[in-house]
Structure 1
């Protein structure tokens, strides 16, 4: 029997399955080499020595098979097993192998430890750059990475604990086994702070600690109570807040006791989250769980405050990474997709939108990398003061801008971007998380005011940083003058704290871009962010800007 002629084949619909006018997936590329903003920031902020290592890691993060790990880790949710088949309490969370592959890569790259293991100029900058690249692949597994990294300064309050736990927590060896920490070379650390009745107001915590004596790790207690959010419950130990007579105190609670018996930290259920799916978050009860005191009695918040600052900074990195990935996807799509007779990226209205998304992404990344340099130089008083106030400002602003940014990038891509097989769907679901975790927007704004009240020099350091860009842009100078005036009325400052935080973030981003970005970027940011505009959405840039240059700079080459 002869084959049907070609015209008759078309009648049966075969021709409709020819895929045309669809962009190739953004994969098998090097996200570092495709990102001039990150490249220049790495050199400028003091980590040029690490560029070869960063570039090599980026090559791995851009591979198709690596990107697929992120999809698989989120498609297969963690699963809780509270008991084994014989009725023994086990409290085990099972993860898809892709999650473990991502954790292994992050830990072997030192994202949880390198600045502590190998401190020196640019160590925080190099780590931030690699974290930024990895978070573009998959953000949720960054939770235990961040908490392990941030816990190290808190451990140093108790030398006996630090001698044992710090070496394991900073080891670049991933061991996901459910076994006592004594059998592991490397461990991960988590946090268990909030409770149902208090949330961010941890001073309302009701969990109690009871002194039981001394052992090889220090002063031992038994903890009784609950925790409403315990993220990454398969970590090997947790920093936990509980009450003593002296007040809220910090404790290190392991999953296993030193005698290799299971500690009484019991997982009740996993949170069914809209985003951050690959990472397990849980509710837990402490039923006489062994813990060692960290820091002084009644000084729990002070003990963990440096840890909180680190986790808030990593929220900033994660949100900036989400913006970069969303921008790259939108520009990549619009550069290959044609509609209404022309490539999308060549059409004026789409250029307005793409350039606006690129501006937001570059401002976030530039701010984030500047903060990494400040953290590298805490011995310098200006850098210490700047990081104290600019971290909550940046955490508030960058994390809060991410959801609307993700939505607009999704809209560029259209219907395909809503489908779970496209990374934009995950970026959108992930986008609100960092704004809520580690202190919501209001908490960050109150922390800004608290920092100013307790150490007024932080505000002086902030304005000193802005002064480095003064005199080059009249609109910027006017904006800074107006910002200073906002601090004059102290009586309504708390009521206006969000407005103040908005202005502080925009001013610092503008100052950094004026100093370090091409004029097309700096001019557009000042014109669109520091001057009154009729449009409130993305894609409302004023006329006369070089949108083509901005888009080209953001295009993942």
Structure 2
């Protein structure tokens, strides 16, 4: 006979409450006061409607879900096809391709090059800042494609053939020669086992074939996005280290002998395939002058470093979004987390980090918009290294503190904070780790002494507004004038350069609550490294409201 008995009351052990539902459907631009202010202040105001539109797109549930899928289903490497032919193919989850399509159709890889004008780098940076919050890993080929343009322009014949397809809005992931495609992506291969950032020790050789092309033999220890259509690579010729554009397919339709050895098994950035490759007589075209490869590729490196600033700033923003949202939805010990003083201290401090990062990133984007100005050019020369060093280096601890705000949920993979934490160190290490950036600052100051004068000229606009800021700037001048063990002290110097610049920019931004809190906490006795240790008397309510994604 059928059993019509209802389940006993004990079959239902509990109900779910006091948990924050997933945050989706919010506008990443409308809900980000720091970004909106920085865009307005740096000349991107004309794109307000477009940024509002893209902020809504980036908050849609389907894009957030694709970000999760691209990380859960990692790229797979297939060296051979089923009958043994060498194919060197990396397969991605469809979500990865959808994210790439969104980025490239939006022009994140090309818009300042194809549509130059006032504020275009600021607007592109703002879009990329929002886009990277959806998923960071696929940004690597987007950035490399964007950054390749100034280098490829050094060779007119290559530029005429390649740049129309590189800058075209669209994405074609098909595995076929570049001659058969309308949309191309570009990668980069600089790092070798023995040298790392010391690229002058590269052992890969390039031998002229006689028809204007070269044959490359060697290896590359890190080549990200190996399914790009071509790569900018450094190799040694008789004239010295030179830069080459190396296609994945030869113009005759045969496969260029770029052999993928394996994919890197990384702690973070797992949606992006990073590979070790061997070049076994690979075809390459010279970019720029032979023997001046570093000069040819330096523009690409500088631009990729700037994008590291954007990505890390975006990562900080998404971490704050999750922390503040969670605290607004969860109660403990009788009242909402967001109303508890110590949690307010932590949340406000996390938001202050975003305020400084967004301000500095967008200021350097403005500099990129005005490189015809000597001041802006000099500011960017230092700012790319200082900003990349400081913002990227601050992000891992920032991600951890935000993750802690969610408690145990924060370390679970289907909460985005776990991914943010895994991804956070990548930008700090790639494109030159902390020491490389600090040494680059010293190199720039030594080679072009006027560059530091432009840094202080910029800071001078805020002179007299706050005694702590004035004291910091004066101390920085003294430290830079003292050459004793300056290389040993380089990180400390760059720390202070970054903090002084961020404080200045926030003063210029006009929000007194933000500027006063930043200066008191970052330049005061508390130092800049202890999250949740803001001094008393600050307007933490305003700071938290500026970070709350649901306050528009």
TM-score band by shorter chain is: over 0.9
Q: Of 293, 308, 319, which residue of structure 1 is paired with 2:286?
A: 293
Matches within 5 A, 1:99-138: 99-138=96-135
Q: Of 501, 504, 509, which residue of structure 1 is paired with 2:497?
A: 504
What count of residue pairs does the alignment treat as equivalent? 548
**Cα distance in structure 2, aligned partners of 1:469 and 1:156:** 38
CA displacement at 1:491 relative to structure 2: 2.9
CA displacement at 1:54 relative to structure 2: 1.7
- Name the counterpart of 1:208: 205
- Name the counterpart of 1:97: 94
- Name the counterpart of 1:68: 65
**Cα distance in structure 1, aligned partners of 2:110 and 2:444:** 27
Q: Of 377, 380, 383, which residue of structure 2 is paired with 1:387?
A: 380
**Cα distance in structure 1, aligned partners of 2:164 and 2:128:** 21
- Name the counterpart of 1:422: 415
Q: Classify the secondary structure of the residue corresponding to 2:392.
A: helix
Q: Which runs of 5+ in 2 are unaligned?
A: none
Is 1:164 equivalent to 2:156 in the alignment?
no
Q: Of 32, 36, 60, which residue of structure 2 is paired with 1:35?
A: 32
CA-atom RMSD, angstroms?
1.1
**Cα distance in structure 2, aligned partners of 1:321 and 1:369:** 12
Is 1:354 equivalent to 2:347 in the alignment?
yes
CA displacement at 1:391 relative to structure 2: 1.0
Contact preservation (8 Å) 2:257, 2:280: yes
**Cα distance in structure 2, aligned partners of 1:27 and 1:66:** 10
CA displacement at 1:146 relative to structure 2: 0.3
- Name the counterpart of 2:173: 176
In the TM superposition, what whole-angstrom CA distance separates every residue of 1:520-542 from its partner, at most 9, and x where no partner exists?
11111101110122794200111
Is 1:448 equivalent to 2:441 in the alignment?
yes
In the TM superposition, what whole-angstrom CA distance separates every residue of 1:424-454 from its partner, at most 9, and x where no partner exists?
0000000000000000000000100111111
CA displacement at 1:19 relative to structure 2: 1.1
Q: TM-score, normalised by structure 1?
A: 0.97
**Cα distance in structure 1, aligned partners of 2:452 and 2:152:** 30
Q: Which moved more, 1:489-498 or 1:187-196?
A: 489-498
Q: Classify the secondary structure of the residue corresponding to 1:213.
A: coil
- Name the counterpart of 2:325: 332
Matches within 5 A, 1:399-548: 399-533=392-526, 536-548=529-541
- Name the counterpart of 2:138: 141
Q: Of 24, 27, 45, which residue of structure 2 is paired with 1:48?
A: 45
Contact preservation (8 Å) 2:323, 2:406: yes
Is 1:257 equivalent to 2:255 in the alignment?
no
Q: TM-score, normalised by structure 2?
A: 0.98
**Cα distance in structure 1, aligned partners of 2:320 and 2:461:** 29
Q: Which runs of 5+ in 1 are unaligned?
A: none
**Cα distance in structure 2, aligned partners of 1:378 and 1:42:** 18
In the TM superposition, what whole-angstrom CA distance separates every residue of 1:339-389 from its partner, at most 9, and x where no partner exists?
011110111111111110000011101110111000010001110000000
Is 1:377 equivalent to 2:375 in the alignment?
no
Runs of 4+ residues over 4 Å off in structure 1: 1-4
**Cα distance in structure 2, aligned partners of 1:256 and 1:207:** 19
Q: Which moved more, 1:396-405 or 1:518-527?
A: 518-527
Q: Classify the secondary structure of the residue corresponding to 2:286.
A: strand
CA displacement at 1:49 relative to structure 2: 1.6
CA displacement at 1:9 relative to structure 2: 4.2
In the TM superposition, what whole-angstrom CA distance separates every residue of 1:207-232 from its partner, at most 9, and x where no partner exists?
00000123xxxx20000000000000
Q: Classify the secondary structure of the residue corresponding to 1:92.
A: strand
Q: Classify the secondary structure of the residue corresponding to 2:262.
A: strand
In the TM superposition, what whole-angstrom CA distance separates every residue of 1:170-197 from its partner, at most 9, and x where no partner exists?
0101000000001100100000001000
Q: Classify the secondary structure of the residue corresponding to 1:223.
A: strand
Contact preservation (8 Å) 2:34, 2:354: no
Q: Classify the secondary structure of the residue corresponding to 2:78.
A: strand
CA displacement at 1:517 relative to structure 2: 4.4
Contact preservation (8 Å) 2:393, 2:428: yes
Is 1:322 equivalent to 2:315 in the alignment?
yes
In the TM superposition, what whole-angstrom CA distance separates every residue of 1:459-480 from its partner, at most 9, and x where no partner exists?
0110011011111111110111
- Name the counterpart of 2:76: 79
**Cα distance in structure 2, aligned partners of 1:106 and 1:535:** 34
**Cα distance in structure 1, aligned partners of 2:385 and 2:345:** 30
Q: Classify the secondary structure of the residue corresponding to 1:91.
A: strand
**Cα distance in structure 2, aligned partners of 1:33 and 1:381:** 34
Q: Of 384, 389, 399, which residue of structure 2 is paired with 1:396?
A: 389
**Cα distance in structure 1, aligned partners of 2:48 and 2:433:** 34
Q: Which moved more, 1:536-545 or 1:331-340?
A: 536-545
CA displacement at 1:14 relative to structure 2: 1.2
- Name the counterpart of 1:189: 186
CA displacement at 1:543 relative to structure 2: 1.0
Is 1:232 equivalent to 2:188 in the alignment?
no
**Cα distance in structure 1, aligned partners of 2:471 and 2:529:** 21
- Name the counterpart of 2:12: 14
